[in-house]
Amino acid sequence: MEQKIALLWDIDGTLLSTNGLGRTPLLEAIRITTGIVGTYSLDSTSGLTDHQIVNKVLMEHFFEDEDIDNTILKVLNLYCDLYSSLVINKSFNLLHGIDQILGELIRNENFLNLICTGNVIGGAKLKLRKVGLDHFFKEQYFFCSQNLNPRSSIVFRAKNESLRMGYTPVVIGDTIHDVEAARVNGLRSIALESKNYPVDLLKNSNPDSFLQLGWQLQDLERALNGA
């Protein structure tokens, strides 16, 4: 009997590229909600969850709020609305021919595809819908940022659901944070080379497997088989 594997997919830099379009609506949502005119670099927030990015901007401006969790929630709800309007006439890039790869994977009952991302669920669904990948992931298989807890806590939830269904979870992502979150949870990781993330940093994080740009389904299968 073949091993049943759950693939815990990151989104940004793994399945698609948004070309950094989320930064503007997020900063605008922060400004409207709190009055703070903040900023951040994509490098300094790579791998952070959406909740953590908002919190980082607020803390850098010494923002004080007795109910910071609710403020961050308001920011992120507005962010999703602004982002949805912004991308109507914009395009995202699919990576790795991932639509064809996911199409092959969902036809194999030995694989289960889950979204495991630091995005809030509204942002995650918006991105996937924009590139036509949303139908590859069932509603119950979205594991997204819900609070200020680290990425490893999101992987933990996805891990438990995978194991409950009889699948062995494997984390797939393009940053050191994906690799570290897998390691914290005792899971294997497959790191995907990304044009917008330092490849040496990714390799030095010691993922269990590393796939270079241009990887194909057979490369993923070899990695899953431990080759």
Exposed/middle/buried for residue 93 (C-beta within 10 Å: 0-12, 13-18, 19+): exposed
Q: Is the pLDDT confidence value at 227 over 60?
A: no
Query: What type of residue sits at position 205?
Result: S
Give 15-37 pLDDT, tens digit per residue: 999 988 999 999 999 999 999 99
Count of alpha carbons within 13 Å of 226, Cβ hemisphere only? 1
Name which of 163, 146, 152, 158 is nearest 116 in CA terms: 158
Last residue of a domain, one of 89, 108, 142: 89
The CA distance from 18 to 90, in Å, is: 9
Is residue 198 domain-shared with residue 110, that is, in the same domain?
A: yes
Return the CA Rg of the chain: 17
Grouping H, G, I as helix, E, B as strand and the rest as coil, residue 165 is coil
Is residue 69 domain-shared with residue 141, that is, in the same domain?
A: no
Name which of 152, 169, 153 is nearest 161 in CA terms: 169
Is residue 61 domain-shared with residue 111, that is, in the same domain?
A: no
What element of type H or E holds 192? Answer: strand 188-192
Is residue 97 domain-shared with residue 77, that is, in the same domain?
A: no
Alpha helices in the chain (DSSP H): 23-34, 42-45, 50-60, 68-86, 98-106, 121-130, 151-164, 176-184, 199-204, 217-224
Is residue 57 domain-shared with residue 112, that is, in the same domain?
A: no
Is residue 110 domain-shared with residue 195, that is, in the same domain?
A: yes
Count of alpha carbons within 13 Å of 195, Cβ hemisphere only? 11
Is residue 9 domain-shared with residue 30, that is, in the same domain?
A: no
Lowest mean pLDDT among 16-30, 40-54, 162-176, 191-205: 40-54
In DSSP notation, 94-131 reads: E-TTHHHHHHHHHT-TTEEEEEE-SS-HHHHHHHHHHT
The structural domain count of the chain equals 2
Last residue of a domain, one of 41, 60, 89: 89
Q: Is the pLDDT confidence value at 125 over 80?
A: yes
- Strand-pair category, 168-173 with 188-192: parallel
| Structural domain boundaries, residue 48 | 23-89
Is residue 74 domain-shared with residue 119, that is, in the same domain?
A: no
Confidence band of 2 (pLDDT split at 50, 70, 90): confident
- For residue 102, the model assigns a pLDDT of 97
- Strand-pair category, 16-17 with 93-94: antiparallel
- Report the share of the chain in percent with pLDDT over 70: 99
Q: Is the pLDDT confidence value at 1 over 80?
A: no
The CA distance from 186 to 184, in Å, is: 6
Last residue of a domain, one of 89, 121, 145: 89
CATH number (domain holding residue 175): 3.40.50.1000
What element of type H or E holds 190? Answer: strand 188-192
Is residue 192 domain-shared with residue 99, that is, in the same domain?
A: yes
Q: Is the pLDDT confidence value at 96 over 90?
A: no
